[in-house]
């Protein structure tokens, strides 16, 4: 039996005796694993945020298999909470993942302490754990593993999780080189988790901002929405009072009364529709995907914004060219982007003479399969030096403008993997073009450029 | 529904002196129908138009009628219509109606030289009050 020194430079638990079965790592095996780690690193550079969790589980599997182990797991740990929650894992046999979470303070206090102190724990056998880890030893005996390495994962300089690579049936040795490679893997996983956290947070903020902007836009439309509702209400009121009058006569005109009642019913339906449409726009923040027919979407937009066009005396033309294949999209957000472009267009023609106040909203599908939504106005146009900054957050040419509308519209379009572009001739007009990719090419809602911050 | 009344109908309905006539100009057809019903049931004669052009092309009486014009019409707004009619020599009193009030509308209303302004939805009573005010003005004139 070989005698090994009490402490090692990395501070890991010292085995008191060499395990009976030590795995021999040939140079070839080490090299193969080295290549695997490089492949893993590249994979995590390339992976898109929405696939990070899947990718982590995939690579836990590959690492476990490559090293002849049985189980790999990541558990989120927290100094202020007793519980460690398993967030990722792979095991040779189902059922070897031991549930969603465990009481780390009760079962693995010593290991938890080491993790939070950013120290790797190498456990060739359960007996190799020191005396102060008696509780942990007991837990290991009960839940497996027979031999493992546990490595802390830092995110933003703070330990937030621990990854464990374990063997469930045999004890084994862990050469320093292998431990170092596993520490590299842990670090890469940490970067990936950090990226996911940051992007998730950014998407949440972006959704909140989009929602706030939409409420603001609805505020701008308030007057015209009120007008839209006042029309059917006026019809209902007049019809009802006319019926009252007619009923007072000696021979009421029953047919006319019936016609008036029918008009009341349809007026009510019209008012109800407007309110329903409005309520939909006040919907909560998260993105909601659904099969969306762009033709219907634009028809709704024209109903929402129709009164505003009337009040501002703008002639709004809608030109939808079929076929337009439906796409998976967030209906409310696309409507928000289009409404924003239309309101800008109305502003642009506000100074033009009345008969020339034309805004066109058109849609068609290109040969390539992508869908185009175009808003064109023949208004005052955008100055060449303002054009490159037109989509910047907080950039506005209006005295009361907040400058967020176009930035958010672009953000919405890009979240759908599309493009929002503009061309303009001062004095001749402006055209905004939304391009949405082929229906079959998804996924959606992966990273897109932040609205505020770097380009 | 009534868009442009035939000329003979106009002659018959407007030239008779017994019942006062209301000349209604409103582009929303459901509102137009409802208002017409209300006014007929109140005992008036009604001639209804849904486009300003039709009013300008028709022949309006000199007296015994009052105009009820919606502010927001296609082709030209209610005020422009009244200004055009006035330029053609029309002296009929005007009641303006609108479903919407904001800075722009307020300013327009000021220019309208209207006897009264009604906001949609309005009651039968407020409509009758405005109409009697309009005819009182006519009588005085």
Q: Residue B130 — pLDDT band, cuts 50, 70, 90?
A: very high
What percent of chain A stands above pLDDT 90?
Answer: 46
Would you call B102 and A223 a contact, using CB atoms and an 8 Å cutoff? yes
Q: In B, which residues are within 8 Å of A311 by CB distance?
A: 72, 100, 102, 104-105
Residue spans of alpha helices (H) in A47-175: 52-66, 104-107, 109-116, 134-143
pLDDT tens figures, B21-70: 999 999 899 999 999 999 999 989 999 998 888 998 888 888 889 999 99
Rounded CA-CA distance A320/A372 in Å is 10
What is the Cα B139 distance to its own chain's centre? 18
Q: In A, which residues are within 8 Å of B99 by CB distance?
A: 226-227, 230-231, 234
Q: Order of strands, edge to edge, in the sheet holding B45-49?
A: B45-49, B21-25, B65-70, B94-98, B116-119
Cis before A443 (ω within 30)? yes
Q: How many CB atoms lie within 10 A of CB B132?
A: 13
Q: Residue A16 — pLDDT band, cuts 50, 70, 90?
A: very low
Rg of chain A over Cα atoms, rounded to whole angstroms, equals 33
Has residue A117 got a pLDDT over 80?
yes
Nearest to A311 among B28, B38, B72 (CB): B72
Residues of A with CB under 8 A from a CB of B: 223-224, 226-227, 230-239, 241-242, 245-246, 256, 260, 263, 266-267, 270, 307, 310-311, 313, 354
Backbone angles phi, psi at B34, to 5 degrees: -65, -45
Residue A300 CB-half CA count within 13 A: 21
Q: In B, which residues are within 8 Å of A230 by CB distance?
A: 99-100, 119-121
pLDDT tens figures, B118-128: 988 999 999 99
What is the Cα B22 distance to its own chain's centre? 6
Q: Residue A446 — pLDDT band, cuts 50, 70, 90?
A: very low
Q: In A, which residues are within 8 Å of B101 by CB distance?
A: 223
Q: Which pLDDT score, from 0 to 100, does residue A267 have?
A: 93
Q: Which pLDDT score, from 0 to 100, does residue B86 have?
A: 86
Residue of A221, A239, A182, A138 whose CA lies nearest to A10: A182
Mean pLDDT of A238-248: 95
Q: Are A66 and A59 in contact (CB under 8 A)?
A: no
Element (H, E) at A309: helix A294-311
Q: In B, which residues are within 8 Å of A242 by CB distance?
A: 34, 37-38, 40-41, 124
pLDDT tens figures, A52-82: 999 999 999 999 999 999 999 999 988 888 8
Would you call A313 and B35 a contact, using CB atoms and an 8 Å cutoff? no
Q: Residue A25 — pLDDT band, cuts 50, 70, 90?
A: low
Residue of A269, A304, A270, A226 whose CA lies nearest to B99: A226
Has residue A238 got a pLDDT over 90?
yes
Residue A269 C-alpha, separation from nearest chain B C-alpha, in angstroms: 12
Rounded CA-CA distance A94/A91 in Å is 6
Mean pLDDT of A337-356: 87
Q: Residue A148 gets which letter from DSSP?
A: E
Question: Domain limits of chain B?
Answer: 7-140
Rounded CA-CA distance A243/A234 in Å is 14
Q: Which pLDDT score, from 0 to 100, does residue A255 have?
A: 94
- Burial bucket for residue A40 (CB in 10 Å: 0-12, 13-18, 19+): buried
Would you call A260 and B123 a contact, using CB atoms and an 8 Å cutoff? no
Average pLDDT score, chain A: 85
pLDDT tens figures, A288-331: 778 888 999 999 898 888 888 888 888 899 999 988 888 888 88
Would you call B28 and A231 a contact, using CB atoms and an 8 Å cutoff? yes
Residue of B39, B26, B91 whose CA lies nearest to B65: B91
Would you call A234 and B123 a contact, using CB atoms and an 8 Å cutoff? no
CA-nearest residue to B29 within chain A is A235
CA-nearest residue to A268 within chain B is B30
More confident site: A230 or A15: A230
**Range ranked top by mean pLDDT from A325-334, A358-367, B81-90:** A358-367
End-to-end CA separation in angstroms for chain A: 62
Element (H, E) at B97: strand B94-98
Residue A244 CB-half CA count within 13 A: 9
Would you call B38 and A263 a contact, using CB atoms and an 8 Å cutoff? no
Say if strands A371-377 and A358-365 run parallel, antiparallel, or are unpaired. antiparallel
Mean pLDDT of B79-93: 87
Would you call B99 and A234 a contact, using CB atoms and an 8 Å cutoff? yes
Interface test with A, best of B37, B48, B97, B105 (most A CBs within 10 A): B37
Element (H, E) at A249: none
Residue spans of alpha helices (H) in A350-404: none
Q: Residue A24 — pLDDT band, cuts 50, 70, 90?
A: low
Backbone angles phi, psi at A290, to 5 degrees: -160, 160
Q: In B, which residues are within 8 Å of A270 by CB distance?
A: 30
Residue B138 C-alpha, separation from nearest chain A C-alpha, in angstroms: 25
Q: In B, which residues are within 8 Å of A246 by CB distance?
A: 41
Would you call B121 and A238 a contact, using CB atoms and an 8 Å cutoff? yes
Mean pLDDT of A363-375: 91
3-state class of A27 per DSSP? helix
Rounded CA-CA distance A186/A72 in Å is 11
Q: Which residues of A322-339 are buried (b: 16+ CB within 10 A; e: fewer)?
A: eebeebebbbbbbbbbbb
Has residue A8 got a pLDDT over 80?
no
Q: Which pLDDT score, from 0 to 100, does residue B75 have?
A: 75
Q: In B, which residues are within 8 Å of A316 by CB distance?
A: none
Would you call A239 and B37 a contact, using CB atoms and an 8 Å cutoff? yes
Rounded CA-CA distance B56/A306 in Å is 26
CATH number of B7-140: 3.40.50.2300
Residue A210 CB-half CA count within 13 A: 29
Residue A423 C-alpha, separation from nearest chain B C-alpha, in angstroms: 29
Element (H, E) at A98: none
More confident site: A89 or A18: A89
Phi-psi region of A369 (alpha: psi -120 to 50; beta: other; left: phi over 0): left
Rounded CA-CA distance A72/A79 in Å is 22
- Residues with Cβ < 8 Å from A332, sequence gap 6 or more? A214, A280, A281, A283, A288
Q: Residue A144 — pLDDT band, cuts 50, 70, 90?
A: confident
Q: Which range has the worst mean pLDDT, A18-27, A102-111, A133-142?
A: A18-27
Q: Residue A439 — pLDDT band, cuts 50, 70, 90?
A: low
pLDDT tens figures, B96-112: 998 877 666 677 776 77
Nearest to A230 among B30, B100, B124 (CB): B100
Q: Which pLDDT score, from 0 to 100, does residue B44 have?
A: 92
Nearest to B38 among A231, A232, A241 (CB): A241
In the block, tokens 């008191």 appear at A16
Nearest to A238 among B34, B100, B102 (CB): B34
Q: In B, which residues are within 8 Å of A265 by CB distance?
A: none
**Angle between the N-to-C axes of helices A176-248 and B29-41, in degrees from 0 to 180, rounded to the nearest 10:** 30
Q: Are A79 and A87 in contact (CB under 8 A)?
A: no
Would you call B31 and A270 a contact, using CB atoms and an 8 Å cutoff? no
- What ipTM is given for this predicted complex? 0.84
Residue of A55, A95, A93, A97 whose CA lies nearest to A75: A97
Say if strands A83-91 and A71-76 run parallel, antiparallel, or are unpaired. antiparallel
Q: Which long-range contacts (CB under 8 A, 24 or more apart) does A224-227 make?
A: A224/A305, A224/A307, A224/A308, A224/A310, A224/A311, A224/B100, A225/A274, A225/A278, A225/A304, A225/A307, A226/B99, A226/B100, A227/A307, A227/A310, A227/A311, A227/B72, A227/B99, A227/B100
Q: Which residues of A192-211 are buried (b: 16+ CB within 10 A; e: fewer)?
A: bbebbeebeebbeebbebbb
Residue B141 C-alpha, separation from nearest chain A C-alpha, in angstroms: 30
In total, the C-beta contacts within 8 angstroms joining chain A to chain B are 85
Has residue A142 got a pLDDT over 90?
no
Residue A242 C-alpha, separation from nearest chain B C-alpha, in angstroms: 4
Mean pLDDT of B10-20: 53
What domains are defined for chain A? 27-200 (3.30.450.40), 288-455 (3.30.565.10)
């Amino acid at each position: 039996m070989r005698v090994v020194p009490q402490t090692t430079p990395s501070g890991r638990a010292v085995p008191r005796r060499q395990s009976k079965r030590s795995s021999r790592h040939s140079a070839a095996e080490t090299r193969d694993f080295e290549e695997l780690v490089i492949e893993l690193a590249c994979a995590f550079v390339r992976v898109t945020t929405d696939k990070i969790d899947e990718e982590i589980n995939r690579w836990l599997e590959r690492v476990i298999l490559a090293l002849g182990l049985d189980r790999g797991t990541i558990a989120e740990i927290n100094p202020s909470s007793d519980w460690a929650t398993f967030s990722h894992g792979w095991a040779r046999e189902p059922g070897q993942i031991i549930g969603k979470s465990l009481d780390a303070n009760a079962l693995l206090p010593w290991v938890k302490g080491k993790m939070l102190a950013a120290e790797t724990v190498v456990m060739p056998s359960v007996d190799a754990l020191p005396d102060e880890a008696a509780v942990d030893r007991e837990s290991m005996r009960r839940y497996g593993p027979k031999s493992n390495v546990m490595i802390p994962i830092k995110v933003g300089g703070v330990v937030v999780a621990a990854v464990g690579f374990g063997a469930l049936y045999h004890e084994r040795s862990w050469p320093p080189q292998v431990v170092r490679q596993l520490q590299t893997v842990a670090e890469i996983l940490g970067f990936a988790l950090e990226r996911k956290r940051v992007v998730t947070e950014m998407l949440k903020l972006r959704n909140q901002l989009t929602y706030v902007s939409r409420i603001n836009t609805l505020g701008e439309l308030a007057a015209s929405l009120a007008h839209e509702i006042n029309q059917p209400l006026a019809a209902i009121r007049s019809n009802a009072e006319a019926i009252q009058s007619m009923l007072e006569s000696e021979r009421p005109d029953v047919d006319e009364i019936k016609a008036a009642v029918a008009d009341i019913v349809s007026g009510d339906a019209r008012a109800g529709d407007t309110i329903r449409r409005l309520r939909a726009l006040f919907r909560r923040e998260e993105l909601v995907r659904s099969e969306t027919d762009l033709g219907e979407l634009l028809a709704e937009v024209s109903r929402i914004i129709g009164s505003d066009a009337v009040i501002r005396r703008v002639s709004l033309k809608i030109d939808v060219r079929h076929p337009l294949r439906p796409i998976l999209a967030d209906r409310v957000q696309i409507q928000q982007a289009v409404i924003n472009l239309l309101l800008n267009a109305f502003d642009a023609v506000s100074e033009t003479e009345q008969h020339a106040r034309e805004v066109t909203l058109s849609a068609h599908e290109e040969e390539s399969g992508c869908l185009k939504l175009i808003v064109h106005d023949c208004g005052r146009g955008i100055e060449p030096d303002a054009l490159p900054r037109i989509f910047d957050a907080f950039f506005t040419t209006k005295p009361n403008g907040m400058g967020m509308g176009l930035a958010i519209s672009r953000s919405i379009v890009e979240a759908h993997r599309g493009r929002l572009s503009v061309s303009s001739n001062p004095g001749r007009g402006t055209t905004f073009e939304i391009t949405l990719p082929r229906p079959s090419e998804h996924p959606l809602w992966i990273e897109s450029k932040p609205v505020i911050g770097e380009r | 529904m009534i868009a442009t009344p035939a000329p003979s109908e106009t002659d018959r309905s407007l030239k008779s002196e017994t019942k006062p006539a209301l000349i209604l100009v409103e582009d929303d057809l459901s509102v137009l129908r409802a208002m017409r019903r209300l006014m007929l049931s109140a005992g008036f004669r009604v001639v209804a138009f849904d486009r300003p052009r039709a009013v300008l092309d028709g022949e309006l009486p000199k007296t015994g009628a009052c105009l009820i014009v919606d502010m927001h019409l296609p082709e030209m707004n209610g005020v422009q219509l009244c200004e055009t009619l006035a330029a053609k020599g029309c002296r009929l009193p005007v009641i303006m109606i609108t479903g919407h009030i904001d800075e722009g509308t307020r300013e327009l209303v000021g220019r309208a030289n209207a006897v009264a302004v009604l906001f949609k939805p309005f009651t039968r009573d407020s409509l009758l009050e405005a109409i009697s005010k309009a005819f009182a003005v006519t009588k005085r004139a």
